[in-house]
Amino acid sequence: MNNKEKYINAFVEGLEIDADKVEGLKYQEIPEWDSVGHMSLVASIEDAFDIMMETDDIIDFNSFDKGIELLKKYNVEM
């Protein structure tokens, strides 16, 4: 799996949603991505790339696209 696939897969597993819903998704847009879902999503992203995100980044992470941008900081390029 390349990084983009891993990233999409983290959404699928973390939020328990279908892969076709993932791209372009925003925080709070669907019931699954609420504050509770947010933390399991973060956990699956951290597992997928073996990183630990900073709290500020977890708070700023509010969309599929924003996540891609934030992950650059952790040397995850897509």
Partner 1 sequence: MLEDFYELNPYELDKDAKEKMLTKELLELTELHRQKCEPYGNMLAAQGYEKEKITSYYDLPFYPVRMFKEEELLSIDKEEIFKTMTSSGTTGQKVSKIYLDRDNAMAQQKVLIKILGDYLGKKRLPMLIIDSPEIVKNRQSFTARGAAIIGLRIAASKMTFALNEDMELDLDVVTEFLEKNAGKKFVIFGFTFLVWKHLYQAMKEKGKKLDLSNAYLFTGGGWKKIEAEKVSREEFKECFTKQFGITHFLDHYGMVEQTGCIYAECECGHLHASIYSDIIPRRYEDFSPCEIGEKGILQVVSVLPHSYPGHSLLTEDEGMILGEDDCPCGRKGKYVKIFGRVKNAELRGCSDVYASKF
- Considering only 12, 22, 51, 58, the residue that binds partner 1 (CB under 8 A) is 58
The CA distance from 59 to 17, in Å, is: 21
CB nearer partner 1, residue 1 or residue 36: 36
- Considering only 28, 47, 69, 73, the residue that binds partner 1 (CB under 8 A) is 28
Q: Which two tokens stand for residue 74?
A: 């952790």
- Considering only 54, 65, 69, 77, the residue that binds partner 1 (CB under 8 A) is 54
Determine if 78 is a binding residue for partner 1 (CB under 8 A): no
The CA distance from 38 to 43, in Å, is: 9
The contact mask relative to partner 1 for 1-20 (x = CB under 8 A, - = no) is: --------------------
